[in-house]
Amino acid sequence: MRTKNFAYYLLALLVIAATLLSACGTPAATEAPVATKAPAMTEAPVVATEPAVVDPMAELVAAAQAEGTLTTIALPHDWCNYGEAIEVFKAKYGLEVNELNPDAGSGDEIEAIKANKDNTGPQAPDVIDVGFAFGDSSKAEGLIQPYKVSTWDSIPAEAKDAEGYWYGDYYGVLAFLVNTDVQPDVPQDWSDLLDPKYNGQVAMSGDPRTANQAIQTVYAAALANGGTLDNAQPGLDYWAEMNKVGNLVPLIANNGLVATGETAVRITWDYNALAAVDSFEGNPAATVVVPASGRFAGVYVQAISAYAPHPNAAKLWMEFLYSDEGQTIWMKGYCHPIREADMRERGVIPADLLAKLPDVTGAVFPSLDQLNAAKGLITANWDTAVGADVKAAP
């Protein structure tokens, strides 16, 4: 009985189920069933994340800050706006800057490295800023070490050592800075400076036996007096005549001496001269002239001492100087930064800075071989050819 009832009930359930299925119908042939899968309750949702941005300079900055100090040499604050560059660098990275002998020449910088090879004290420079001809000779003597800044590719190939031992930083053109309160008759060319009216008034910005700027002042005079980039002898002849007629003042000129009138005419890079006029603020009245002939462009170079007590601070200083920020600071001091072409192409130079730079059309850029030859001739023969002992003011 129990079996028959069970079968009866089972048959009834099957009939009911068939009826229900018939009422619901079947899916259309064009409708595909949707397959779904509920996520497992134990699985955490996947969150897309951006890769962490790593500052490539962070490690160098940390290493430099651990050293704490950068030691520079021969960087007057009114030269190429170095005063602002140093202050911005200090504030930006929290480093101290130990400034050695701001008025030193390129030769003095090299001697400072040599004299402090085994000295990690405050008299050992970490970095140097020297005339173009000193870069290669310093490398040959093992006095500097290689380092390629992150903006390396935008430095013109002809203005840097391929291995990174030295690299051009900026250039200027030699010009006349004239105190017009003392000398209202402003010279327009090199030949004018031999006129008796300039007796006891003309001075160089360094000792031509050691200082790059003074050596190139002799070289530039050669170009205006029958010489060529391959023949600097007429420059020595010109300065011999300058000394003979009494126009040469045997003092290393600076802006202070121009302001007092002790050197009414200072021959210096255009950027130094223009910065001086700004600093005088009309007292004294002064003007700047890029000479009509003998327009000579001088490139300076940066390098890190092979014996730098603070090598990471030195590398960070180079990164700063060769950044757009550092190059713009130099330009504010009337310098032509070495990456100027790249910055112009990218349109990142403020228009007011571009408008301040003087016209130096026709300026010539000697090759390294030409500079070395001229330097050797001038430094070896100045004493016998000219006979003027140019020294710093007492």
- Torsion from C-alpha of 206, 212, 214, 218, nearest 10 degrees: 170
Q: Is the pLDDT of residue 16 over 90?
A: no
- Which has the higher per-residue pLDDT, 78 or 148? 148
Task: State the pLDDT at residue 169.
Answer: 97
Task: State the pLDDT at residue 35.
Answer: 39
The angle, 0 to 180 degrees and rounded to 10, between the axes of the packed helices 368-385 and 233-244 is 30
Asked if 130 contacts 138 with a C-beta cutoff of 8 angstroms, the reply is yes
| Residue 6 pLDDT class (50, 70, 90 cuts) | very low
The C-alpha angle with vertex 275 and arms to 269 and 277, in degrees rounded to 5, equals: 105
Least confident of 45-49, 162-166, 220-224, 330-334: 45-49
Tell me the mean pLDDT in the region 291-313. 96
Task: State the pLDDT at residue 54.
Answer: 66
**What percentage of the chain exceeds 70 in pLDDT?**
86
Task: State the pLDDT at residue 43.
Answer: 52
**What percentage of the chain exceeds 90 in pLDDT?**
80
Q: Is the pLDDT of residue 7 over 50?
A: no
* Domains defined along the chain, listed by start: 58-171+298-364 (3.40.190.10), 173-297+376-385 (3.40.190.10)
162: exposed, middle or buried (C-beta count within 10 Å: 0-12, 13-18, 19+)? exposed
DSSP 202-248: EE-SS-TTT-HHHHHHHHHHHHTTT-BTTB-HHHHHHHHHHHHTT-B
Instruction: Report the mean per-residue pLDDT for the chain.
Output: 89
- Residue 131 amino acid letter: G
Phi, psi of 86 (to 5 degrees): -65, -45
Tell me the mean pLDDT in the region 282-291. 97
| Residue 325 pLDDT class (50, 70, 90 cuts) | very high
pLDDT in tens, 31-67: 443 433 344 444 555 555 666 666 779 999 999 999 9
Structure tokens at 146: 């290689």
Structure tokens at 358: 């003087």
- Residue 103 amino acid letter: D
Task: State the pLDDT at residue 5.
Answer: 40
CA 191 – CA 202 distance, rounded (Å): 12
Task: List own/partner pairs for 378-385 with CB under 8 A and 24 or more apart.
Answer: 378/208, 378/215, 378/218, 378/219, 378/232, 378/235, 378/236, 379/208, 379/209, 379/210, 379/215, 381/236, 382/208, 382/209, 382/218, 382/236, 383/209, 385/236, 385/237, 385/239, 385/240
pLDDT in tens, 355-389: 888 889 899 999 989 999 999 999 999 999 999 99
- Residue 72 amino acid letter: T
Q: Is the pLDDT of residue 21 over 70?
A: no
- Residue 67 amino acid letter: E
Task: State the pLDDT at residue 335.
Answer: 94
pLDDT in tens, 151-209: 999 999 989 999 999 999 999 999 999 999 999 999 999 999 999 999 999 999 999 99
